[in-house]
Amino acid sequence: MLAALSLVNWGAPILLSERSPEVLLRQGLMEAFQTEATPERLILDMDAALAAGEIDDALLLKEAADLAGVTLPQRQLDRLAAETTRLAQARRTAYDCGRGFILGAGEGAAGIGCAVISDFSVVGDVRDLARELPKENPNDLIVGLAAVGLALEAGMLVSLGATAPAKTGVSVAKSAARSGLLSGPLARELRVAVGEAVDLGRLRRGGRVEEAGGLLRADGLGRLTRPMGDLKAVYDVGGWRATRQVLKISDSADDVADGARAARALRADSAPVMRVLGKGALRGTKIVMRGAWKIASAIFAVIAGIFQILLVARDLLRASLRLVWWGLKGFVRAFLAGVRPDPRPAPRPAPPSSARPAPRAAPEPARLTAASPPRLDAPLEIPSARPAFADPAPQA
C-alpha cells in the first residue's frame, strides 16, 4: 500500500498539475511556434496581408511577432497603424458586421459575430432558408444548418439554454460556409452529417420555411452536434479569430476537436499561434495528446499492477496465518492431552505372597432346565424309592 501511494504521489503531478496534458500541449506548441515564427517569414506574410487588405490577418501577424519577440520593420508598423485608426477600424467593423448580419457572410471577426447574432434572433436562419429554397440547386449545407439552427432555437426555449453551445457552433459553421472559409473535406463531412440530421429531400420538395424545424432527425443529430460543440469551445477560449483559424485549417470533425484542444491549451495566444503553425498545430496536438495519454495509461497500469500484487500478497499472508494458527492449535491440543490425568480407575495391586488365599466357594450343581440340554459329565442323581401303592386311609 505504501508503494502504491508513493507511485500515485509521483504520478498525480504529471496528470493534474505541471505535467498535465494541456500543459504539455502548450509547451510543445509554443516550442514549434518559436521555431516557425522567424523574422523572414513574419515580414513576408505581413507584406502579403497588407497588400491584400486583410487587416485582421495583419493584426494577427503583429501579435505573433510580439509573442515571438520579433521586431517588424517600421514601414509595416506605420502602414498597420494607418489602417487601424479609430475611424478606419469603426468603418471596417460596421461594414463587416452589417454584411454578416444582413447577408450572413463575414470574413472578419465582426462579420462572423454579427452573423451569429442574427441567427440567435431567428432572422439569420429564416433569411438563409428563404434565399436558398427557391433556387434550383440550393446549397444543402446552408439549408441543413439553417434548419438545424431553427430546431435548436426552439429547443433553447424548452431546455432553458442547454442547446446554446450547439446553436453557436451551427451559426459559426454556416457563416464560414457562406464566406468560403471551410475547407473542401470539412464541408463535405458536414454536408453528410446534415443529411443525416435533416430530411433535405422533403424540405426541398415542400419549400416552406416554417416546416424546416419539424424535419429534424434526432437520431442523426449526434454526428453534427459534436463538431458544433467543439467550435463553441474554441470561441469560448480564443474568440472569433481563433474560431476562424480553426475552420481554415481543419479538414474533418476530428481536426476541429484537435483545434479545440489546442485552443484550450493556448487560451489567448491560440489565434496568433495557429496563424503561424497552420495545420502543424493540429499535427502537434495529435502527437502530444497521444504521448500524454500513453504516459497516463502507463502510470495507471503500474498502479493497477501494484494493487494486484498487494491483493495476491494479502491472500498469501492470510493463508500463511491460517496454517500457523492450525499448527499452533494442534500443538496446544497435543500438549494438553499429555498433561491431563486419565479418567479411567487405576488397577488394584496384587496381594502379597504371605497372605492366605480366601477359600474357594464350591460350585453350585448344575440344574437341568428345559432351555439347556443335560450335561453328560454331570453327576447322576438317583431319586429315592417310593411305594407302589399308597397306604389306605385309616378307617374309623
The 3-state secondary structure of 48-91, one letter per residue: HHHHHCCHHHHHHHHHHHHHHCCCCCHHHHHHHHHHCCHHHHHH
Phi/psi-derived region of residue 359, left when phi > 0, alpha when psi is between -120 and 50, beta in every other case: beta
| Confidence band of 129 (pLDDT split at 50, 70, 90) | confident
- Quick check: helix, strand or coil at residue 317? helix
Residue 110: pLDDT over 80: no
CA terminus-to-terminus distance, the chain: 130
What is the tens place of the pLDDT at every residue in 214-262?
A: 667 777 777 787 888 898 889 888 888 898 899 889 999 899 999 999 9
| Confidence band of 34 (pLDDT split at 50, 70, 90) | very high
Query: Residues 40, 44, 46, 47: is their CA dihedral positive or negative?
Result: positive
Written as one letter, the residue type at 58 is A
Phi/psi-derived region of residue 53, left when phi > 0, alpha when psi is between -120 and 50, beta in every other case: left
Residue 382: pLDDT over 50: yes
Three cell numbers written together for 39: 523574422
Half-sphere exposure of residue 132, counting CA atoms within 13 Å on the CB side? 25
| Confidence band of 124 (pLDDT split at 50, 70, 90) | confident
Find the angle CA(169)-CA(175)-CA(177) to the nearest 5 degrees: 100
Q: What's residue 160's pLDDT?
A: 46
Q: What's residue 157's pLDDT?
A: 45
Of 75, 27, 83, nearest to 288 by C-alpha is: 27
Q: What's residue 260's pLDDT?
A: 92
Q: What's residue 75's pLDDT?
A: 94
Residue 387: pLDDT over 60: no
CB 125, CB 213: distance < 8 Å? no
Its pTM stands at 0.66
Q: What would the mean pLDDT of 181-210 be, rounded to a whole number?
A: 79
| Confidence band of 288 (pLDDT split at 50, 70, 90) | confident
Three cell numbers written together for 288: 502530444
Q: What would the mean pLDDT of 92-116 be, rounded to a whole number?
A: 77
Task: Name the one residue in this structure whose C-alpha cell is 463531412.
Answer: 189
Q: What would the mean pLDDT of 186-204 be, rounded to a whole number?
A: 83
Burial class (CB in 10 A: 0-12, 13-18, 19+), 26: buried
